[in-house]
Amino acid sequence: MSEAKVSLPAVYGLKAGMTRIFDESGKHVPVTVIKLIPNVISQVKTTETDGYNAYQVAFNEKREKLVTTPVKGHLKKANIDKTLTRFSELKSDEVSVDNLGKELSLEDFNASTFVDVTGTTKGKGFAGVMKKYNFSGGPASHGHKFHRTTGSIGNRATPGRVFKQKKMPGHMGVITKTIQNLQVVELNEEQGYMLIRGSVPGSKNGFVRIAKAVKK
């Protein structure tokens, strides 16, 4: 695998947790710690063969015995010696087959860079409307029978049905969420971490997508 690296508008990392640092003026700055992991180009998609230009990126290295045979064959075809198990696509205006098997560069994510971070939110299980949608609920005093329930959800005889997307109790969390315009505080490739100001979606050890901010 070549040592040359490729710059793409996004990379994948691992959310290690949160901590705080102090800037030059002594102000307290809450940051999320992102563990840097190898991102390797495992497939090149072109308009001639696939109808669009994109790079398939492989990450999340595991022990060899935990990787399936088809995945091993796919990685071998790209001359990747790491046993990576997760794959995602990053679209690009121009692609080159010569980049197959190369790692992604982090040179575009230095300190003070603004990024958009995408992750899967924490699961909250089954939740009622007060927790899930911040409904106010009913009176809490004695004599009332309406406290935390949804309330009326229907209409009159016309249309005589419940509209789609009605806010109802149900499963909460485990959705793809993007937080925009977060700032990179520090990038340390030698020790393998990145600090991003503020919080990002997901739980500890969850994968996050760090992309250049589209609104900056």
CATH code at position 95: 2.40.30.10
- 59 neighbors 39 (Cβ within 8 angstroms): yes
On whether residue 149 sits in a domain, the answer given is: no
**Which residues are bridge partners to 195 per DSSP?**
33, 186
Closest Cα partner for 182 from 214, 153, 152?
214
Structure tokens at 100: 């197959």
Closest Cα partner for 77 from 94, 63, 97?
97
What pLDDT does 2 receive? Answer: 45
Three-state secondary-structure class, residue 151: coil
Range of 75's domain?
A: 5-123+172-212
Q: How many separate domains does the chain show?
A: 1
**CA angle, 200 as apex, 195 and 201 as ends, to 5°?**
150
On whether residue 147 sits in a domain, the answer given is: no
**Which residues are bridge partners to 44 per DSSP?**
55
On whether residue 73 sits in a domain, the answer given is: yes
On whether residue 62 sits in a domain, the answer given is: yes
What pLDDT does 155 receive? Answer: 82
> Within the chain, where are the H helices?
69-77, 129-133
d(CA 36, CA 60): 11
On whether residue 139 sits in a domain, the answer given is: no
On whether residue 131 sits in a domain, the answer given is: no
Structure tokens at 137: 């609920």
pTM of the model: 0.87
What pLDDT does 158 receive? Answer: 87
Low-confidence ranges of the chain (pLDDT < 70): 1-3
